[in-house]
Each structure stands twice: as structure tokens, then as C-alpha cells.
Amino acid sequence: MKVVALVSGGKDSCFAMMKSIQYGHEIVALANLMPADDSVDELDSYMYQTVGHQIIVSYAECMGIPLFRRRIQGSTRIIPFWDEHQVGDPNSQTVAAMGLDPVKHLGKELTSLDSDLHKLNRLYGINVCGEGGEYETLTLDCPLFKNARIVLDEFKVVMHSSDSIAPVGILHPVSFHLQYKAKTSSLGSICDNKNLVDQEKGGLLFEIQGDCFQNCDILQSVPDVSSDDHILDDVPDDRLQISCSRMQTTFLICCWLQNSCGTSPGLQDDLKSVLRKIESELLARGCGWKNVLYIHLYLADMKGFGLANETYVSFITQEKCPFGVPSRSTVELPLQQVQLGNAYIEVLVANDQTKRVLHVQSISSWAPSCIGPYSQATLHKEILYMAGQLGLDPPTMTLCSGGAAHELEQALKNCEAVAECFRSSVSTSSVIFVTYCSTRMQPEERRRIEDKFHGVLEEMRHSDKASLSKLLDSIFLYVNVPNLPKGALVEVKPILYVQENLDTVEQTPHDSPRLYIPTDWGFQHEHWHNSCIQKCIVNGKVCVTVLSMTNELARNISSCLLGNEITEEHLELVSKFCIYLLNEVLLDSAFCWEDIKNLRFYFPTSLNITLEAASIIFSRAFNELAESNPTVHVDRFFNLIPVIGAGRTPTSMDDILTCELFAKKC
């Protein structure tokens, strides 16, 4: 990948460039932010090192690539960010810590200060590498400088603060020159143009004015589809379907296109229609894209992933989401097999603006950058919704080799890196793991990934980072789908409970309104019912449940299900039984139907039932439940997901029906 390196002159930015080249990337240009006033050394910036900016101009000639600079405008803002804790071999440039003396230590090479820094570490606990802000550095030479090294001829020490305990001093370069090297380079992945070095420095140095380049041919604006009001007008009312849950702290909107005639115009038009309809529904509820926490994007063909992202970002932009773009999971589903269009979207919305997002787009060794316009994770009211994670190697952004088990292990490590930013761990705080498995995964690989899953989580639990968290009884749901982004074999989507107040006591159960099951359904509790259920209850506030209805268990419901073929009549019986079991779970756990935030039913396309027919079956069952309980509100919202298969293990994704319920008390 061709990259632009943001440089400050410090050891970290130079080492990051070296790691970038090590992972196969090509540095084609440098970028630097400098003070608006050339005479100013230190801006007291939380984000940018500015001391020594006078020397940065030489980096272009030392490396033989262009440097683009822009002056910093405005004032300091505190912005959360994550660093890579790297080391190098530069000179100390600014010192500000107990025991460090600007007069004694400034301008010295780190190698000469080794014993002093370790002594101060023992006495005062300073970070030897300066990662606690004790000092900043200036790199004068490194393997990237293939053309020349910087020689500091003269400097002076300027006292920035004369504090008696921890004085702050700044090294101000007075004069320096370049010492040219032989034309050899140990790192060959820097963009190499031999003619550049022979040019004047002005040919490599550019100062950017304003917000960005104007009239630049290589920058393409994203088309504005906000004026495409005709899109909705062109879609017949009976094709564009939308379903919304009751307005609560969070609520769901689902939208899809019926395509019973098989004449869908294409992915882009279908996706625009669906996004426009959702946008209209959000506005009708006094919300916007800024309120969206999470989006499930289901595509009929993963080959259209790039086109889907282009269309998606024309609706969901940073400008419309000042608190951060939503997190997202994208998978391919057999939509057309159940007579749907090319796109199906499920949106989780909050009616407040208290969400916190993690949205890192830079490539690093930390965790994968987002491969689409979404955030890695969104935290809202103690629930952390994490974007679907692939087994991508973060610095190279390529899928791990070695098969599904290796991809799964890397995906879990990526999940853990994201969780740590919220002081949590997927190994202890996950209430549910939904793992999408591609149909390209071989049967023997399915057997291996379950063992790998539990092995990796167990290893994480023994680490120091996870030891402080209370271990939750996580639920596992595996979903078999036709394809995943980048041709991955697995995608992991965890949901975590991140407790905000560690002193919070478990919520006292309250009397929930009891729902009465219609008498003609005829179900009574039996011991085997528990074998259908996975359940995770957290502090009396969160209830997550997965019901797995296999062929074998279905035969226990009625003798009419003894045959191999499941008809619509059989599905109606199974749907009623699932609703009965859900009611029992909620009642036993002191939750009620009004606490439900999300209710999904996964049904396999092998049933040969359209989504429209399945929707009628479930709606009828919920209507009967509501009629039997006229004094209790029954939210009849549910979401039907067509899949190749689903189940509680990767080797048994053959349920007739799988239910995923998420309930949370307000």
C-alpha cells in the first residue's frame, strides 16, 4: 500500500515509518504540522510535537521524497488517541520530569543518557523511553535517511518553565547542515526518484494553505445523493418494506426490498432506496444518522462490497455524525433465495447522544483499520457494540494464512485490542459472540475453530489485563453465510457489558407482568426445554438468550414434525414454541417483553420459505399472544434473517430455527 507518513521529528514517527516499510508498505510522501509562527518552538499540544520543527524541512532531502507541511491553527483540544510505544536512537529535545535537568540532559544522545534514565526510573518511576511525556526527541539519522544525515551545529537551551522540581527546557536549533551519504540504502521501499535529490529543496517542500488542495484532479468528491428524491418515488410501495420497534432508549429499524418477480435493478439502486427510507424514518422520529449506534449491512453478493461502501458513505458521513459514525457488520446473505432485493439493513438507534465511539483509520500494529466507513466499536449505556472483526493482520491489512482457525485467532486478538481501549476484555465481558462462518470453510476446519475459540479466550483470561474483570457466562452463536468481506472464512461480532460504575450492585428483581400463552398452543414445561437455551444474565440488568431449535428437539414438540420436510404449518408450530420458551426465560430472569431491545429469528433457506411467508407466520403467532394478554403491551417487532444455517456450535449450524434475544432494563 502507498502511504503518507505524518512526521514530527521524534523517534516514534521515524520508527513507525520503519515498521510500515517492514510490513511491505511504500512511503511516497511526508506530512508535518508546524506552528503558525516560525519563531515559536512549543505549542503545548496534546497531539503534536512541534519542538524542532525547523529541522523537519531537511527530512525530505534526507529521504528523497516530498514533504507537505501545514500550519496549526486554533487552540488545544483534548482528543483521546492511542500510541504505539516505540523506541529509536535520537537526541533528547525537551525535558519535563522530576530529576531531568534541561542544562545537563538536553541535546544529548539517548545512548549517553542510558544510566541516568534508568536511575531516574528507579528513583521516581519515569518512563525510560519518555512515553509518559518526560522528554521528546529529535531524530538526526536513521536507516530511512538514505541520502544524508542531519548534523546539529549549534543550539541553545530555552527555559519554558523554571519549576524548582521539574523544570521544562526546550532545545532551539540555531544552525545545522546535511552530511551526504553514499548512494546506498538498506530500506528499498521508500518511493525512489533519483532526480529528486538533485533538485533544490524547494522541489521537495510544499506548504499547504487552507483546508485542502483546491481543484486537484486526483481528489474525487463523493456524489451527493441527498437530491435523489426520485429514488423512493420509483420504488413501488409493496416492494420497499420497513419495520420499526417501539420508541425506547434504543430502538430498531429494519428495511429491505421485496423482489418476488426477480427484477431488482441492482445493488446501488436497492441500497439507495433502503438508506433513503431509513433516513426518512429517522427524521420522522426526531433523529438522524448521528443517533445510530450500529448497522447490520446484509448484501446479496459480496462482490458489490466496494460499491456498497461508496453508496453507504454518501448517506452516513462524518458531518452527519459529529459523535462518530456507527459501528457496522457486513455479511452476504441468501437474500434473493427468499425473494428479497440486493440489500437489507438493520439499524440500532439511540434516542440520546451519549454514545462513545472508537474510530481509528490509521494503519498500525494495534488493530485493523476499518475497511469501510464505520467505527471499530460504539459504547452506549454500558453496552459495547463491536464491529465485525476479520482475521486481518493489522500492519499489513491482509488475511492471516493457515485457514479458518488462524483467522479466528487473529480476529479475537483484534477484538481484544479494541476492548482494551474501553478497559475491558472480550474474554471476560462478552455477553454474546456471533460468529459468521463462510460456506467455503471445510468441515474439518469447523471442528477446529470451536476448540481454538475457547483456547484463545482461556489464554486471554490468564493475562493481567483481564484479571480484574468479572467473568460472564458468554453465549456462542454460529451463523453460516455464503461469503464475507475480503473472502474471509470467519467474522466475529462480540457484544460486551462494560460496567461504568464498579460499585454498582445487582439490580433487585421486580415483579414483571406475566404473559399468558394461548391455551390452544398446548405447551407445558418439560426438562428437555433447557437443552434449547443459552442464557446470560448480567447484574439483573441485561438478559441475552439464544434458542436453538434442531430437528431432533423439534420432534419432541409434536409427532407431526417427525418427517424430514418442514412445511409452513410446521414452522408455525415451531415459532409458537420459541415464543413460549422466550416467555419462560424472561419470566424466570425477572425480565418482561417491554425490556426487549432486539429479537432476531434466523431461518435456513433449506426450508424453502420466503421471508414474506415467514413474516406472516411469526406475526400471526405474536398477534395470538397479544390477544391473550389485552392488558399487557406486547411489542410485535422481530427481525427475520435468512441464512444458510445457524446453531450453537460450528459443527451444528443446522437448526430449523434459531432465536437471538437481547433485553436490557432502562
The helices-and-strands tally (H runs, E runs) of the chain is: 15, 27
Rounded to the nearest 10 degrees, the angle between the axes of helix 404-420 and helix 443-461 is 30
In the predicted structure, residue 222 carries a pLDDT above the cut 50 = no
Q: Which of 8-22, 78-92, 160-174 has the weakest average pLDDT? A: 78-92
> What average pLDDT does the segment 192-203 reach?
43
Backbone angles phi, psi at 617, to 5 degrees: -65, -50
Which single residue is written with the C-alpha cell 437471538?
Answer: 660
Q: Which of 341-350, 458-467, 548-557 has the weakest average pLDDT? A: 458-467
pLDDT of residue 633: 67
Q: What percent of the chain has pLDDT over 90?
A: 50
Residue 339 or 106, more confident: 339
pLDDT in tens, 111-130: 888 888 898 888 888 888 88
pLDDT of residue 384: 97
Q: Which of 91-95, 116-120, 440-444, 455-459 has the weakest average pLDDT? A: 91-95
**Burial class of residue 313 in the structure, from the number of CB atoms within 10 Å of its CB (0-12 exposed, 13-18 middle, 19+ buried):** middle
Q: Which residues pair with 68 in a beta bridge?
A: 31, 206
pLDDT of residue 74: 60
> What average pLDDT does the segment 415-444 reach?
95
**Burial class of residue 37 in the structure, from the number of CB atoms within 10 Å of its CB (0-12 exposed, 13-18 middle, 19+ buried):** exposed
Sequence-ordered list of residues with C-beta below 8 angstroms from that of 455, at least 6 positions apart, any chain: none
Rank 351-365, 480-494, 512-526 by mean pLDDT and report only the highest: 480-494
pLDDT of residue 160: 73
Residue 389 or 208, more confident: 389
Distance CA 348, CA 372 (A): 18
pLDDT in tens, 567-594: 888 899 999 999 999 999 999 999 988 8
Q: What is the 3-state secondary structure (H, E, C) of 466-500?
A: CCCCCCCCCEEEEEEECECHHHCCEEEEEEEECCC
* Whether this model's pTM surpasses 0.75: yes
pLDDT of residue 77: 43
Distance CA 453, CA 6 (A): 37
> What average pLDDT does the segment 612-626 reach?
92
Give which of 594, 605, 570 is closest to 666, Cα–Cα.
594
Which single residue is written with the C-alpha cell 518552538?
Answer: 41
